[in-house]
Structure 1
Amino acid sequence: MRHSIKAALAVSASALVFSGDIASAEITGPITFFTHFGTFQTNGRWDDWTAEFEALYPGTDVEVIVVDGYRREMPTRLASGDYGDVLNVLDNLPPDQYAEFYLPLNDMELRDTHMFVDRYTVDGNVYGYIYGANAEAVVYNRSAFERAGIESVPTTRTELFAACEALNEAGITPFQINMGAGWPMQQWDKAALLFAGDGGYYEDALASATPFSPDEPYGESISFVHDLFEAGCTERDYTANNWDQSKAMLGVGEAGMWFLANWSVPQAIASGEALGMENVSDDLGMFPLPIDDSGSPAVLLNPDWAIGVSANSDNPETAMAWVEFLLTQTDVANEAGFIPGDTRIEPTLPQLVELLAPEPPIIESETPSSAFKQAMADARLDFMAGTYIRDLVLADDFAAAIADVNARWDRANGN
């Protein structure tokens, strides 16, 4: 579904807010919080926020546990029953299983002020609230573009590939895809919605026997990144996990761009500054990914992780209070570079302002159904994890690999 950016964001105030729906007398005891945000452990923000919460609610204690490889590690914890009190709502978990692992969060004021609530609502019960929304687009380094003689951001596919060629000639890695890390390749699961021009496309894919063929949106998306790779636009090293190195390369201008969301901007800034670079934020910008030559590329608005409360929590009131505190009384969303999930809090990231000021077409991602996720799992395609897309891009015979994936999909989906 396409929206104007004003309707998509619907922000109205920059002040942090807190509803205080949960009775303070019920908020006590320890909770464990499993998070993917290692950055906030490194810079001390988790310590700051937990101290503020514990001062607000005496008798509480929040233990923050950072989990590397969250999508890989947390399903094992869910299966074991040992997954703490507060955690992300796993995006590869079918929604009809939310009630097995998470408590409903229906009585929180966030229900009326948050974006993408419907995405985590099943049978009238809300199981998660997002940190923030992501505008999936190209993050680029201005100084790298200037050194390559690129005078304006590309608005067509032809211009994008020409920019890659100019960056290559200047000795700059043009377009980082982080294939070796694996998980960034999930971006091309998301980009299928751009090629379809429809945030609900995943459900349409269920009706197709061959959604990965080059003439269908999913296939167009995978073919696009394959073309980037074959044209020499991407990193030379496609085997090692160079995610941390890639952030520094973009921050200092040794790389030109990547297709990730706004959350990646603060990480590139921090990596550049750690190497002694100044004014890194001024060097970074964003523009919509030009998937064709229409000259009117769209931006995909996608929720980032949602957080929920464990069905096994011994202190659910404290866990719910932590969720509400974190999302309304801290600046976690803006520090992470998001469009805050609470529509009363305005985004502050300058790169988002640049991206959205021209009011590009907005495609709002809809919820992938349990049926779609199950079909992907049955076809052995790790939706939103990136590995199968990496394998396709690296296949010796790309056409044959696509045909094999289509066959697996068809068998799994029963078309």
Structure 2
Amino acid sequence: MMSPHSKGRARGTALAAVVPLLLLAACSSGTASFDGEDGEIRMMVNLTDNLDQAYWEKLVAPFEEETGLKVRIEGPTGKSVAESFPQQLAAGTAPEVIQSIFPDEDTAPELVDLSGESWAKDTPMFDEYAMDGKHYAVGVGTQTQSLVYYNRTAFEKAGISEPPATWDELDDALAALKKAGYTPMQTAGDFQTGLQLQQLYHPALNQLRPEWQTAVSEEKVSVGELYEPAFERYADWIGEGYIAKSDVGLSPSQADGNFIAGKVGLYTNGSWFAATLNQAEDLPFEVGVFSPPAADGKSYPGPQGATMANPYMVRAGTGDEDGARQLVEYLVTDEKAVDAQLGSDGVFRKGADLEQSAVDAQIQSVLDDAPALVAVGEGQGDIRLPVTGFNPKFTEVAQSLYTGAGPADAAKAIDQWVDENR
């Protein structure tokens, strides 16, 4: 059976295949290197419209002033950091610090294990991203996945006094919203169909079967067995008209627009959607945010699906490995540096105390109240499914419920795919 890290191995191998293996061996043995100038630390980051070169240079400026070290900000040489880092490792040109990606079995031997660093232990999701007991990645915060945004005006008109905390309460809320003339629950096509169903079910699923991805990898349970109750409820919602069948043909941006226009009661999305709401002007309603229902008989709220956000890794054997460690420590523990990175692209951190929008403050509350943060989708670190490409396949299966497949058919289809792709 494929180990929990087989996904990482397959992905890393594919990325590294474009470069000669002899060069990779040379890099691993230390015979090739491309360190920066003395006193300079190279850091590769994903540059975006809002997180541009100037943003990163401003972020590291206090560190440079305090330590006397120079940080050279570099964008990826390929399409992304994920593509560029394995290529640069093989060529012996990899930087000292790598931002935005996670280790896999190919890259882990080239990275510093931060397990012994006292400052790293309290960073977000430190243990959740461990690989074989080692910690190669530390993050600034999390992207919270399992959030339900709702229209407070719609709730008031529908006579709903509190956000639903159980699945029966959610069913009742959807019925009331439909009767009040709203689209009860907004969804879309593309990746969003399957993602939303996973986001909604994460808290309950992880109460019923903690670390379920590992259980699937160890063949103790099947994905279909775990998700069939969710497929059954979702199919009922489609049948009742709580989710419009035509919504599966919408783009996620169109779905965003419907919610912002005030036509929708409930909209499942991640913390990144807060940025869209914060930029919208003159919303015709007040936005609320809550955690999805807990499993029947379990306490509310349940564990929150989340991913480590703004992760950093340190390459081993660099010219200034100690300086690189200091830089990463600064980025993930310095209060001002952390605050500067929070809020961008939906990044939040448990216990953070900074000025926030009304929506951001509610997300912060959901995050702070969550009893645990748990692996999502294919998983992370040692908690992984034994397959790659799970999320696109799950979306395909979820969308089949719109076209006549039953819940048992969906469960069978996802199990067959997992079995064929282990």
TM-score by length of 2: 0.68
Q: Once the two structures are aligned, what percentage of the paired residues are identical? A: 17
Q: CA distance change for structure 1 residues 109 and 271 in 2, over 3 Å: closer, same or farther?
A: same
State the distance in 1 between where 2:43 and 2:201 align: 37
Which runs of structure 2 are paired with 1:141-290 in the superposition (5 Å)? 141-182=151-192, 185=195, 188=198, 191-192=201-202, 194-197=204-207, 198-208=209-219, 211-213=222-224, 216-234=225-243, 236-243=246-253, 245-251=254-260, 253-261=262-270, 263-264=271-272, 266-273=274-281, 276-277=282-283, 283-290=286-293
SS at match of 2:176: helix
Tell me, yes or no, if structure 1 residue 307 matches structure 2 residue 315. Answer: no
SS at match of 1:238: helix
State the distance in 2 between where 1:254 and 1:52 align: 46
- CA-to-partner distance for each residue in 1:48-69, whole Å, 9 max, x for gaps? 425555555563332456999x
Q: 2:147 aligns with which of 123, 137, 154?
A: 137
Which runs of structure 2 are paired with 1:357-368 in the superposition (5 Å)? 362-365=371-374, 368=379
SS at match of 2:387: helix
Structure number with greater CO (CA < 8 Å, separation at least 6) is 1
Structure 2 residue aligned with 1:323: 328
CA contact (8 A) 1:138 1:258 kept: yes
Shift of 1:107: 5.7
State the distance in 2 between where 1:51 and 1:45 align: 10
Matched residue type, 1:129: V
State the distance in 2 between where 1:38 and 1:187 align: 30
Shift of 1:388: 1.3
CA radius of gyration, larger in: 2
Structure 1 residue aligned with 2:44: 32
RMSD: 4.2
CA contact (8 A) 1:173 1:256 kept: yes
Structure 2 residue aligned with 1:80: 87
CA contact (8 A) 1:160 1:290 kept: yes
State the distance in 2 between where 1:89 and 1:404 align: 31
Structure 2 residue aligned with 1:13: none
Q: 1:405 aligns with which of 391, 408, 414?
A: 414
- CA-to-partner distance for each residue in 1:78-114, whole Å, 9 max, x for gaps? 5534776422234xx65x4451464333464432332
- CA-to-partner distance for each residue in 1:349-388, whole Å, 9 max, x for gaps? 420465478x67x3442695778746223xxxx23xx311
Shift of 1:203: 1.9
Q: CA distance change for structure 1 residues 404 and 372 in 2, over 3 Å: closer, same or farther?
A: farther
CA contact (8 A) 1:250 1:268 kept: no
Q: Which stretch has the larger CA shift, 156-165 or 58-67?
A: 58-67
State the distance in 1 between where 2:256 and 2:52 align: 18
Q: CA distance change for structure 1 residues 170 and 320 in 2, over 3 Å: closer, same or farther?
A: farther
Give ranges in structure 2 of 5+ residues lacking alignment. 1-36
Q: CA distance change for structure 1 residues 130 and 252 in 2, over 3 Å: closer, same or farther?
A: farther
SS at match of 1:105: coil
Shift of 1:294: 4.6
SS at match of 1:166: helix
Q: 1:114 aligns with which of 114, 117, 123?
A: 123
State the distance in 2 between where 1:40 and 1:411 align: 40
- CA-to-partner distance for each residue in 1:178-226, whole Å, 9 max, x for gaps? 432448717617835622514322222235476233xx32333344444
Q: How many residues align?
A: 361
Structure 1 residue aligned with 2:108: 99
Structure 2 residue aligned with 1:387: 392
Matched residue type, 2:87: S
Which runs of structure 2 are paired with 1:285-300 in the superposition (5 Å)? 285-290=288-293, 294=297, 296-300=299-303
CA contact (8 A) 1:180 1:241 kept: yes
Shift of 1:392: 0.7
CA contact (8 A) 2:147 2:268 kept: yes
CA contact (8 A) 2:213 2:383 kept: yes
Q: CA distance change for structure 1 residues 119 and 205 in 2, over 3 Å: closer, same or farther?
A: same
SS at match of 1:118: coil
